[in-house]
Amino acid sequence: MRADRLLSLLLLLQNRGRMTAPALAAELEVSVRTIHRDIDALGASGVPVLADRGPAGGYRLADGYRTRLTGLTDTQAGSLFLAGAPGPAQELGLGADLAAAQLKLQAALPTALAVRARRIQDRFHLDAPAWFREADPVPHLAQIAQAVWDQHVLRTHYRRWRGEVRRELHPLGLVLKSGIWYLVADVADVADADGAVRTYRVSRFLTVDTAPERFERPAGFQLASYWQESTSRLDSVLHQQTADIRLSPRGQRLLPMQFGAAGTRALADAGPADADGWVRLRIAVESQAVAVGDLLRLGTEAEVLGPPELRRALAETVAALAGRYS
């Protein structure tokens, strides 16, 4: 561990120039005292580390010194695919590998490209989770990720909306969707589930045990293709109904925020605005119970015209609310 840290310290000084001990300590998540000891160790090994005194001081490498110890380990190389998502990389247990891989990659780049890469990193950041929602607790994520990588069978205890179930799974891949981790797995218990490939929300695993047995991945299986087909299929199942609604100008601004892509598509096909700016449109909705809740979020900026049963359900809900608050 110390050898890795010393190399990371050396690469930080090479890539960024002069850095203070507190800044180095923050980057490497160690104490300032540890940084001082590591600097002494680098100097003893022949690395020309210079210490500049004063308010603008810090540690730096002698002019012209560059290390060539930039080889990536297997794990570090694999972690580069998560370079744009440091949070998820940390959840997968690859945070330290990703940081080390990025330092090594920057050190191997020509100076001009290294400066450009650093500038991009300073100016763009991906934060996957949605606003105002706590991240799912995923205590088993790293273990599941390792099983995906090693192709080991998982014996799991899973909580679903119909109750708890025990499954033996062949983990095929992990997907991060809107800040939520999902496991795509082949159900090994053929008699119970016909060997179907299914999607599991990682936070709902109650227990996960990695079995010593390994499995063979299905020939031709592609995670990205499966996920695209699965989400398209889910969208078509969920949005089987349409609602005929009128929207105020403010409601038109709210619709994409409340309904996402479905709201954007509906607005694009909306009819002409009336004298008050209201438009009429049709939008895909889920079941009636879900649609009532979704449409109520638009408040007085929307009026549901049909279907009649949805309009009645909204009217009954609004009347019940009025009675409660009167």
Is residue 280 within 8 A of residue 287, CB to CB? The reply is: no
Tokens 């695919």, located at residue: 81
Q: How far is 50 from 59, CA to CA, in rounded Å?
A: 6
pTM of the model: 0.52
Query: Mind listing the pLDDT tens digit for each residue in 107-162?
Result: 655 566 566 666 655 665 556 666 656 667 888 988 998 899 899 999 999 998 77
pLDDT at 147: 93
φ and ψ at residue 127, rounded to 5 degrees:
-120, 100
Chain centre to alpha carbon of residue 26? 24
Q: How far is 317 from 257, CA to CA, in rounded Å?
A: 23
Residue 76's Cβ-side half-sphere holds a number of Cα atoms within 13 Å equal to 15
Query: Mind listing the pLDDT tens digit for each residue in 242-257?
Result: 889 999 999 999 988 8
φ and ψ at residue 73, rounded to 5 degrees:
-75, 170
Query: Mind listing the pLDDT tens digit for each residue in 272-312?
Result: 999 999 999 998 887 788 888 889 989 999 999 989 999 99
